[in-house]
Amino acid sequence: MTTTVGQNVTFSVTATGSPTPIYQWSRNGAPISGATSPALTLTNVQLANTGAYTVSLLNDVGAVTSTAALLAIPSSMVVTAMAPANNAAAVNVDAPLSLTFDRPPVVGSIGRIRIFKAADDSVVDTLDFGAALQQRTVGTNSTLYNFIPVAIAGNTANFYMHEGVLAYGQTYYVQVESSALLDATGASFIGITDKVTWRFTTKAAGPAATATALTVAADGNGDFTTVQGAIDAVPAGNNQRVVITVKKGNYNELVYLGATRPFITIHGEDRALTVVGYPNNNNLNSTTATRAAFSIAANDSVLENITIKNPTPQGGSQAEAVFTGRSACC
């Protein structure tokens, strides 16, 4: 539900059963004092009132909580660029998603971003901003990593989806719920709720499984857009040297080179200007298996002419740039 500052808004629920239930309304999961009636009216709504409203009903039989109703005050903030661009074709299957606005966005505490496969409107991935952290696998590491689903850089919101959700030769569309992103005043980006505003199609096919040279480019003009995407394309049990050339750029990603993918060389185009890393640390992931920005478990691995960086600030808990349990050459 969207409204404007100064309006009155009413939420209501109808319940049946005996004995008569007790009602308790909550905002963003926190009970609202005195809100114990079937209806909740907010008078003279302000930005501080926006959020997710639920009502819990309790009687001798049991308890149930309603689905959330979102209350938002729309912002005039507008999208100036999308990545991938709307109607883009031949997009890499590991392409990150981002929205750039006419002003710096702020991450909301509710709302979702979802990717749909256009062929059948099925949801292939969801980021729920109601959870501070999401979990995902990285490469062949079976241990789940905690990760931050969105990062703000200037006017751009970068979204970190779960791994391997896009397939070759498919069309997808992205929807962003109101309240997932806000402006500096707390007003909500109106969202993207249709099937045509943010839509793209992936490449028809990837490199051959026998390829011995792969290219990663942050601008999408390579075989892959992420280092992890290129590593994952190398067949398990590989027994020949594969060189992954990483073009100049900043690759903000977690990387895991698993034991089943030996004989991989990761070669940067420029030692200083090819930078791979992620602000991973003990507060985010508390084991050596998942704490580094770049982890190597494969034999005969080579890192050359490249910068691996963990940008966790000083005092931000223990953080490694590279962790390896096998022989590696840097």
Task: Kindly report the pTM of this predicted structure.
Answer: 0.85
Residue 3 has pLDDT above 60, yes or no: yes
pLDDT 10s digits, 154-212: 999 999 999 889 999 999 999 999 889 999 988 999 999 999 999 999 999 999 999 99
- Whether residue 233 is predicted with pLDDT greater than 50 in this model: the reply is yes
Instruction: Output the pLDDT for position 326.
Output: 52
Confidence of residue 329 (pLDDT cuts 50, 70, 90): very low
Q: Domains of the chain, with CATH numbers?
A: 9-71 (2.60.40.10), 79-202 (2.60.40.1220), 213-329 (2.160.20.10)
Mean pLDDT score, 319-324 = 93
In angstroms, rounded to a whole number, what is the distance separating the alpha carbons of residues 122 and 103? 32
